[in-house]
């Protein structure tokens, strides 16, 4: 079983559409924020620190998806449960379950890859295999 972390958010009025339900792009914003909180809670150093030690400058997205099950509105507290669902060579998939109390509202995923500056052209980035320390922290 992999490391799991929960990040909490309060839905604000501005997070909702005119009907009063959460505007769907906000779920992606919360998943992205939850991913960073997940890394920090697992003990992954800041990207500034990993850039200095391993050359890793971040974990950009390759793909995202979301399945909307129930609506939510302003004033509600939600939680995003995050874990690694799959390792795929250089990439990995984060699973996110966004819930209000015990009710799952959204099932989402993000496929990410660790990157460094390309050695031949620093304006480009290059995917790298996740180092052993990174995988161990998320295990």
pLDDT at 95: 98
User: How many domains is the chain partitioned into structurally?
Assistant: 1
Residue 81 bears catalytic tag: no
Q: Is the pLDDT of residue 123 over 80?
A: yes
**CATH number of the domain that 14 lies in?**
3.10.129.10
pLDDT tops 80 at residue 1: no
Residue 64's CB: how many other CB atoms inside 10 A? Answer: 16
Residue 2 is predicted with a pLDDT of 82
- Candidate list 15, 17, 81, 102, residue with the active-site label: 17
Average pLDDT over residues 123-139: 95
CA distances from 24 to 68, 77, 80 (A): 9, 16, 15
Amino acid 57: pLDDT: 97
Find the domain containing 82 and state its range: 4-138
Whether the CB-CB separation of 21 and 73 falls below 8 Å is answered with yes
- Among 48, 103, 100, CA closest to 73: 100
């Amino acid at each position: 079983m992999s490391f799991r972390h929960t990040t909490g958010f309060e839905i604000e009025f501005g997070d909702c559409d005119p009907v009063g339900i959460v505007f769907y792009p906000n779920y992606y914003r919360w998943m992205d924020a939850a991913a960073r909180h997940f890394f920090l809670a697992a003990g992954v150093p800041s990207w500034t620190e990993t850039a200095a030690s391993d050359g890793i400058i971040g974990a950009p997205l390759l793909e995202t998806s979301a399945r909307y099950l129930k609506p939510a509105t302003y004033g509600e507290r939600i939680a995003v449960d995050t874990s690694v669902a799959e390792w795929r060579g250089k990439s990995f998939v984060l699973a996110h379950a966004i819930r209000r109390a015990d009710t799952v509202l959204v099932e989402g995923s993000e496929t990410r890859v660790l990157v460094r500056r390309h050695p031949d052209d620093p304006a480009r980035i290059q995917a790298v295999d996740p180092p052993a320390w990174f995988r161990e922290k998320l295990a």
